[in-house]
Amino acid sequence: MRKGVFTVIKYIQPVKAESADGLVAQVYTQIKQDFGALVEPFTLHSPSPKLLAGAWIACRESELAGNVRRDIKEAVAATVSTINQCPYCIDAHTIMLNATGKRSVAHAISNENYNNISDPKMREVVKWALATRSPGSEILLAPPFSQSDAPEIIGTAVFFHYIDRMVSVLLSETPLPSNRHWLKNTLKLTASIFFSRAIRRSKPLGNSLKLLPEANLPTDLNWAKTNPTIAGAFARFAAIIDEVGTHSLPEKVRNCVQKNVQAWNGENSGLSQQWVEQAISEFDDASKTAARLSLLTSLAPYQVDEGIVLAFRRYSPEDDKLLRALAWASFTVARRIGTWLYAPE
């Protein structure tokens, strides 16, 4: 934990900026240039360089670059984080909304007063983001944005359904120096001034794609196919996720998680873990620890505690193994959510 800073990365040791080389150094350079700082939701991926690159590419090309207004995509990021109960990401992306000049929108999302958003387009997109865990809802079937804007907006939502889970497990509750409510507004405004220059900086489309080789876009990510940059970004990320999943989790564990994710329709699982224990009852001890971690990360990340992580590390002690298991589980459910989201006809 950095002195005087509230945020801490738990369970793993990220690569420090001064120690970075190779692919990690290349990604870190882009993050500092385009995001404005080396923030923990990116650096926590650094024990697995290709995973770091994949996450950065998916985020940069959907949320940071493109033709859709940045404030709209930041509102999507913050709103998705509210339904995923990720306080770190709510704080982080209402800070970024402040940096775009949309302080009233940031305040409305922080306080879940969505009807107080005066911009009708912004308000409708926020309502769409709130519905992204409600498959078949009317607003998902008739989204409030154009077909050309859809890949950027859907891509931002899908990425945040991924990153919220990673952050819930691996980070503390806020990126701010204090979590005291009476200090938060002042701290957020101060942080937004720091990031405002990076938000205004030009970001050429596709500049991050060179970090990883081309890959085929899986059919469950077809929402991206009309935008070659977004398609290229998520195809690369999906390829890396598939690779790290194969190397970090047994096939029977992955099949168990996929079966449960396919049966899930966005509902909260509650506090009971009986469903998890039932799903893994026939596994050996090593597979049980991996499946328990993966199932909870995908469908109930707020239940992943130190005991769950330490049990997994008893059989897989390396940082990159833990990181890869978490990433595979998180993106598996994000991909599922993406199949519920549609571009307008």
Instruction: Determine the Cα–Cα distance for residues 52 and 26; give it in Å rounded to an integer.
Output: 11
Determine the pLDDT at residue 73. 98
Q: Who contacts 276 (Cβ-Cβ below 8 Å, separation ≥6)?
A: 291, 292, 295, 296
Q: Is residue 262 included in any domain, yes or no? A: yes
- Render 111-125 in DSSP notation, one character per residue: TT-GGG---HHHHHH
Catalytic, 89? Answer yes
**CB-based contact 194:92 (threshold 8 Å):** no
Q: What pLDDT digit, counting tens, does each position of 142-187 carry?
A: 999 999 999 999 999 999 999 999 999 999 988 887 777 767 788 8
Compute the average pLDDT of residues 57-80: 97
Q: Considering its fold, how many domains does the chain have in total?
A: 1
Q: What pLDDT digit, counting tens, does each position of 256-303 carry?
A: 999 999 999 999 887 789 999 999 999 999 999 999 999 999 999 999
- Predicted TM-score (pTM) of this structure: 0.95
DSSP letter for 67, please: S
Q: Is residue 217 included in any domain, yes or no? A: no
Q: Is residue 180 included in any domain, yes or no? A: no
Q: Is residue 56 included in any domain, yes or no? A: no
Q: Is residue 23 included in any domain, yes or no? A: no
- Render 72-98 in DSSP notation, one character per residue: HHHHHHHHHHHHTT-HHHHHHHHHHHH
Q: What pLDDT digit, counting tens, does each position of 74-97 carry?
A: 999 999 999 999 999 999 999 999
Q: Is residue 109 included in any domain, yes or no? A: no
Compute the average pLDDT of residues 296-318: 96
Name the band, by pLDDT with cuts 50, 70 and 90, for residue 338: very high
Q: What percent of the chain has pLDDT over 70?
A: 98
Q: Is residue 50 included in any domain, yes or no? A: no
Q: Is residue 223 included in any domain, yes or no? A: no
* Vertex 326: Cα angle to 244 and 14 (nearest 5): 85
Q: Could you say which of 59, 86, 89, 256 is catalytic?
A: 89
Residue 294: domain span:
241-338
Name the band, by pLDDT with cuts 50, 70 and 90, for residue 4: very low
Instruction: Determine the Cα–Cα distance for residues 19 and 345; give it in Å rounded to an integer.
Output: 49
